Amino acid sequence: LRRDVQKLAKEDLITKEYGGIRIKKEQNGESMIEQRLSLNLAKKEEIAKKAANEIKNGDCIFLDSGSTTLQIAKNLTYHENLTIITNSIPVMLQTLNQGHTVISIGGKVRKSEQSITSFDFLFNFDRLNIEKSFICCSGFSSNNGVTDYSLEEVETRRRILQMSKINYLTADSSKLNKTVTIKICDFNELDILICDNELNENDKEKLINEIYII
Predicted TM-score (pTM) of this structure: 0.79
Q: Whole-angstrom Cα distance, residue 30 to residue 28?
A: 5
- Extract the runs of DSSP E, i.e. beta strands, from 77-191: 83-86, 101-104, 108-110, 115-117, 132-135, 139-141, 145-148, 166-170, 182-185
φ and ψ at 98, to 5 degrees?
A: -95, 0
Does 51 or 127 have the greater pLDDT score? Answer: 51
Most confident stretch, 166-170, 197-201, 202-206: 166-170
pLDDT tens-place string over residues 35-88: 566 678 899 999 999 999 999 999 999 999 999 999 999 999 999 999 999 989
The confidence band for 170, taking pLDDT boundaries of 50, 70 and 90, is very high
Tell me what pLDDT residue 151 has. 87
Q: What per-residue confidence (pLDDT) applies to 124?
A: 64
- Answer whether residue 122 shows pLDDT above 90: no
Domains of the chain: 1-28 (no CATH), 31-213 (3.40.50.1360)
Inter-residue contact 72 to 96 (CB < 8 Å)? no
Cα gap 108→119, rounded to integer Å: 8
